[in-house]
Chain A
Amino acid sequence: MSARRIFARPARFAAIAPYVWMLLFFLVPFGFVLKISLSQTAIAQPPYEPVFDLTAGWGALKAAFAALSVDNFRLLVSDDIYVFAYVRSLTVAVTATALLLLIGYPVAYGMARLPTRWQAVAMVLVIVPFWTSFLIRIYAWINILQHDGLLNQILLALHLVSQPVVWLSTDSAMYIGIVYSYLPFMILPLYATLAKMEPVLEEAASDLGAPPWQVFWLVTFPLSLPGVGAGVLLCFIPIVGEFVIPDLLAGSNSLMIGQTLWLEFFTNKDWPVASAAAIVLLVVLLVPLLLYERLQKRQLEQGR
């Protein structure tokens, strides 16, 4: 529409700077990841053999292409450690996302049912913990979950357990940490759709004879599906690649892919394998990422 175009002519130029920035610092680096994932490990600084050296001319370039190797990827597929890491990452992400939905939905629903004035307050209350550092929030849980931490003290005082429970370095601790850190990401999109929903619809459903659970299941829930989708993707994708939470709260006998990547990179200094792991992770997440992009676009560009 030309109405938009009048305004759009100059607005288009606004894209130049961020566009160049994102190309340079977001897209181009993936090229490097891909390139290095195909090169050989070397004990040097940087710890890989460069595959391309454009200054060396065409012949060298051809040789370089010949030298490209998929060894790193072969390693990822053949070595159980990596396969397990991917499987574990996906399992953890699915479980944690399900937990988040289960916990987040009632909270979001409660928020949406508050009187309008209180909704804003509740929203701020949900967002504020998100503003406090992620690392700090994990650290707070270490405080609580450690051997003589608050949780065990309470459990002992209530005589629910006879001796301290080992919480740290377990999957339970990790799930607590993940749910705790990602809860606002689940609640907010859910709340956004639930709050937009007309309460009249639920009233109409019960007027037409639906008992409360049917009202929820046949009207409320289906209408909140866009929010569910956004919340699930917003949690699932980053959890798959999560590093800090499993590293600090879960045990070290089974690693998630984020940890493996970190380990290869910082401890084993095997950059090519780390790069290959990142590429595989990206491929695994491609579908949810694209879904998320579409959702985000639709949400932000409605009415265009």
Chain B
Amino acid sequence: MTDELPRTDAAADAVGETQSAASEPLLRIEGVAKTFGTFRAVGGVSLDIKAGEFFALLGPSGCGKTTLLRMLAGFEAPDEGRILLGGKDIAQALPHERPINMMFQNYALFPHLSVRDNIAFGLKRAGMVRADIATRVAEMVALVKLEGLEKRKPDQLSGGQRQRVALARALARRPQLLLLDEPLAALDKKLRESTQGELMELQRRLGMTFIIVTHDQEEAMTMASRIGVMRDGKLAQVASPRELYEAPRSRWIAEFVGDINLFDGESKLRDGHRLVIGTRDAGALVVAEPREPVGAGKFSVAIRPEKVKLSRRGPVSEAGHETAINRLDGVVADICYLGGTTTYKVKLDTGGMIQASVANSARLDVDAYSLDQHVVAWFTPDDCVVLPS
């Protein structure tokens, strides 16, 4: 069956060379902008997407990610800029003229057609002969594991089944690019997690290029090989999930992706590769100098809660470089038990508040801290990120 899997020629050629930097991007977005009335929904976005990528557009609602996706699908025409697919500008092409298919947020299954006819819909439009359509539909039904439900109407399917039909329908035409608009938003948490896995597996197997729009950062992190974070119609950062999390480019991204502790302050002195930043809420913090050297001025020091360690007496010596360790004294002000981890909020003696996320590695609560207990929160300079304020 795997041999017969649908894959576009472009995708098939590209699978092997995805990693090579020299390869032409499958999709190139150049300075694309779109204004509705006076609202600039997308303001000059440029982005390259290589064949075989699983790319996620992540952002809060209203950030323009859906508009950008709809411009790729052809439902909106950009006011400015070009959209090149395989080197050809398709910015003004109509949706049915593009080798791109979309999986709609609410699936948009045709309620008057059966599962089979929904999947066959795009194939018929492509002028495929009857026998080929039947083969392809059967292939698709098998691919999304919907055997036996071909004759059902959409309203006789569960949410998960509908999602699969929508996926099969969009894949049936073997598009060069598959767009997924919040594809899992309508599913409950458990189903969403298993479907994430299936989507990734499918994408790898087919070697296709997926662009997914989501507001759920966990979803984006789990599935995508690269994430573009959008804010106010612009791409705020394009990076791998890891880079996005560990090296956010701005304060806003740091706060948007995951939880973070932020301390505002000014740089005081430089000590080799270390920078000392005086913060109001946490005193002087020693941080590693960022890759791009920064001058004097206002900065925020950002530390992820799981990088903050807690202990009763302070860092133990085996941590190695005691001299550079930031240690902050405080009392436990709030405890939030989450199962796998516990989040402690520590009220610092210097006035601020810091969050520490501690793995519950032991079943019994011998390591746990209690409310009002005095603790030391500590972290290394390398765990901090310095962000312009």
Contact = CB atoms under 8 A, between A and B. Distances in A.
B77 interface: yes
Contacts of B95: 6
B110 to A, nearest CB: 16
Binding site secondary structure of chain A: helix
A3 B102 CA distance: 14
B94 A3 contact: no
Nearest to A6: B94
Interface in A1-16: 1-3, 6
Interface in B69-97: 70, 74-77, 94-95
Contacts of B75: 2-3, 6
A2 B74 CA distance: 9
Contacts of A6: 74-75, 94-95
A6 B71 CA distance: 12
A2 B76 CA distance: 5
A3 B95 CA distance: 10
Interface residues of B, number: 8
Binding site secondary structure of chain B: loop
A3 B70 CA distance: 8
Contacts of B76: 1-3
A170 B154 CA distance: 58
A164 to B, nearest CB: 58
B23 to A, nearest CB: 32
A6 B75 CA distance: 7
Contacts of A3: 70, 75-76
Contacts of B94: 6
Interface string A101-142: 000000000000000000000000000000000000000000
Contacts of B36: 1
Interface in A156-173: none
A1 B74 CA distance: 12
A2 B94 CA distance: 11
Nearest to B96: A6
A162 B331 CA distance: 94
Nearest to A5: B77
B111 to A, nearest CB: 18
Interface string B37-81: 000000000000000000000000000000000100011110000
Interface in B11-46: 36
A228 B30 CA distance: 53
Nearest to B70: A3
B98 to A, nearest CB: 12
A141 to B, nearest CB: 43
A256 to B, nearest CB: 48
Nearest to A3: B75
Interface string B83-126: 00000000000110000000000000000000000000000000
A1 to B, nearest CB: 6
A6 B70 CA distance: 13
A2 B41 CA distance: 13
A6 to B, nearest CB: 6
A2 B91 CA distance: 12
A110 B70 CA distance: 45
A3 B69 CA distance: 12
A2 B67 CA distance: 11
Contacts of A1: 36, 76
Contacts of B70: 3
B121 to A, nearest CB: 17
A101 B141 CA distance: 56
Nearest to B71: A2
A6 B73 CA distance: 12
A8 to B, nearest CB: 12
A6 B76 CA distance: 8
A2 B73 CA distance: 12
A91 to B, nearest CB: 47
Which of B74, B75, B94 has most chain A Cβ within 10 Å?
B75
Contacts of B74: 6
Nearest to B79: A2
A6 B74 CA distance: 9
Nearest to B74: A6
A200 B265 CA distance: 49
A3 B78 CA distance: 11
A245 to B, nearest CB: 43
Interface in B193-222: none
Interface of A: 1-3, 6
9 contacts: A1-B36, A2-B75, A2-B76, A2-B77, A3-B70, A3-B76, A6-B74, A6-B75, A6-B95
Give 4 nearest A-B pairs by CB, closest first.
A3-B75, A2-B77, A2-B76, A3-B76
Given A2-B76, A6-B75, 6 more contacts: A2-B75, A2-B77, A3-B70, A3-B75, A6-B94, A6-B95
